[in-house]
Structure 1
Amino acid sequence: MGIELPWETIFKVANVGILPFWLLLAFGPRRQMVLRGIFLLGSGLLAVSYAILIVGLLGGAFDGGGGAGGNADLTTLAGAMALFDSPGGATIGWIHYLAFDLFVGIWIARNADRHAIARLWQIPCLFLTLMFGPIGLLLYLILRSFLGKSLENGFTPR
């Protein structure tokens, strides 16, 4: 049996700790140094945390706190469900979402600035990306197709 981690605390720290980065992304200056900081200290730290926690859980170094945890088989639905059935697996999955959603939010902000889309239009997209991931991205791509100079702008990732 692996080391027991305080999964509830890790979940809360990740969940609350990411909010300042989202606020800075939505309302702060968009200087390169600020965006790099959001990327490295936000998505980057979450990615490192995720890597340590998932390797430790799947490798048996950490106790998932119930459920299958380290015995999960990520090639099947049942195996993925077993992983998320433990506090450790659910926390690690949530950190995964937080890291990727912030990464997508950074892309939306930079891309919207590049396409001269006003911050007022960006904020709802960023909020929905934080809360519902792909829905925020979809809204941004739809908005960009209407607010951009050509329809093609809405369907290419640059």
Structure 2
Amino acid sequence: MIVEPIHQTLLNLINLSVMPAWALLIFAPRWTWTDRLIHSGLYPVILGLAYIGFMAGALLWGTNSEPVSFSTVEGIAAIFTHPFGVLTAWVHYLVFDLFVGMWEARDARRRGMSHWALVPCLLLTFMAGPVGLLLYFVLRRKWSINPETA
């Protein structure tokens, strides 16, 4: 796979774009602008548009030696043989991890959960998505509003 400077630049921009969102969730959870920028859904919408752009790039300019398929390991691997396929997948991770982090923050606030208890969950969700979500589910049991809804 040949990675052009534009692909690296796009990756850097996408990575940098999510940093303010995570910083606001962690360091300024109750700030008005956190609600306006993060909990409004603006970030997933913007990243979703980038996802569409990268997917279009993968479909238009991506070349694969193997046929793309979602039912075989080789077919899935073929998606990632072009930098636009890699960028598409990376944005996919970033969008969903951020969405999960946003949900954790709103759910924790609604439950009256300590923000300091939430921070490790957010950091792990940012770095290792499902691990952070799992930790959040474990910790939220302590702050259950109603055991039937927890």
Query: What TM-score do you get using the length of structure 1 for normalisation?
Result: 0.80
**Alignment pair present for 1:28 and 2:24:** no
Q: Is the 8 A contact 1:57 1:88 kept in 2?
A: yes
| Structure 2: runs of 5+ lacking an equivalent | none
Q: Is the 8 A contact 2:66 2:75 kept in 1?
A: no
Q: Per-residue displacement from partner, 1:31-54 (whole Å, max 9, x unpaired)?
A: 576334125442221111101221
Q: Give the share of equivalent positions with the same residue, in percent.
A: 38
The one of 119, 125, 128 aligned to 2:124: 128
Quote how far apart the aligned CAs of 1:16 are.
Answer: 1.6
**Alignment pair present for 1:68 and 2:64:** yes
| Structure 1: runs of 5+ lacking an equivalent | none
Q: Are residues 128 and 71 of structure 1, via their aligned partners in 2, closer, same or farther at CA, if it must alter by over 3 Å?
A: same
Question: Would you say how many aligned residue pairs link Structure 1 and Structure 2?
Answer: 146
The equivalences for 1:34-49 within 5 A come to: 34-38=34-38, 39-49=40-50
Distance 2:145 2:107 in 1: 14
Aligned to 1:104: 100
Runs (4 or more) in structure 1 with deviation over 3 Å come to 149-154
Query: What TM-score do you get using the length of structure 2 for normalisation?
Result: 0.84
